[in-house]
Amino acid sequence: MHILISNDDGYLASGLVALVEAMRRFGEVTVVAPEQNCSGASNSLTLNRPLTVQKGSNGYLYMNGTPTDCVHVALTGLLDHLPDLVVSGINNGQNMGDDTIYSGTVAAAMEGYLFGLPSIAFSHVDKGHAHLEAAAHLAADLVARFVEHRLAGPFLLNVNIPNLPYDQLREIRCTRLGKRHQAEPVIRETSPRGETIYWVGSAGEARLAGPGTDFHAVASGLVSITPLQIDLTHVEQLGTISDWLRA
């Protein structure tokens, strides 16, 4: 099996290294990851300048682009053959509910999915990667399951792993995305040169976090796995908008 691995925390991130080491037993691995931290990059492509690929001393390929650039370039020209699986992560922090819209970790996997490949995004719930080996072990368990029981068709799985020792990761629960409150307000400061500068505030607290959601599973110490799709069409509003156009 050939696995393409990327992330959004950058090619030197410890979460990426742990994931790569966990994937090696399944066959060939190719790492194409961003040179710099691109958390929050979503599905952005770099279109206003060319991209370069370089090889780090750790053997990983890295690009001066976004997570989506990395997977896109890998799949459309860099690799000789399409991989069997695309994995992304392990992100330093959760990607649940609305986070999936902004996440570069999810976007890297989503790019694989857009090219018809099975793809999995892995995130570690609490920042700091406490119990990173356990998360990598869990990621390997899921990929081993994929090897044994192939799913038909492409799929995009969003996995959030609580920061617990491996023997305390009790169950992998299939969930739907929850929702957050609105994000915290932007933080306004004055730079040393007197300019007004803004820091984007933190994500909102969980709002829709009842049973069945990713938030609920993780809060219960369970690993959350959510199958994602991309079509943003609001099917229930098709009639309303058609009527509105006719009125």
Binding site for Mn ion (CB under 5 A): 8-9, 39, 91
Cβ proximity to Mn ion, 39 vs 68, nearer residue:
39
The minimum distance between CB 10 and Mn ion, in angstroms, equals 8
- Rounded Cα distance between 152 and 140, Å, is 20
Cβ proximity to Mn ion, 107 vs 209, nearer residue:
107
The minimum distance between CB 99 and Mn ion, in angstroms, equals 10
Contacts of 101 (CB under 8 A, 6+ apart): 42
Cβ proximity to Mn ion, 66 vs 226, nearer residue:
66
Residue of minimal CB distance from Mn ion? 39
Cβ proximity to Mn ion, 38 vs 222, nearer residue:
38
β-partners of residue 223 are 172
CB 64: neighbour CB atoms within 10 A?
Answer: 15
DSSP type of residue 176: B
Asked whether 214 and 175 are in contact (CB, 8 A), the reply is yes
Pairing of strands 53-55, 61-63: antiparallel
The minimum distance between CB 91 and Mn ion, in angstroms, equals 4
Cβ proximity to Mn ion, 9 vs 111, nearer residue:
9
Cβ proximity to Mn ion, 9 vs 214, nearer residue:
9
The minimum distance between CB 98 and Mn ion, in angstroms, equals 15
The minimum distance between CB 37 and Mn ion, in angstroms, equals 7
Q: Where are the alpha helices (DSSP H) in 83-153?
A: 99-102, 104-114, 132-148
Asked whether 63 and 4 are in contact (CB, 8 A), the reply is no
Lookup: tokens for 22: 């966990």
> DSSP string spanning 190-233?
E-TTS-EEEE--PPPPEEE--TTBHHHHHHTTPEEEEE------
The minimum distance between CB 40 and Mn ion, in angstroms, equals 8
Cβ proximity to Mn ion, 37 vs 82, nearer residue:
37
The minimum distance between CB 199 and Mn ion, in angstroms, equals 17
Q: Counting Cβ atoms within 10 Å, is residue 68 exposed (0-12), middle (13-18) or buried (19+)?
A: buried
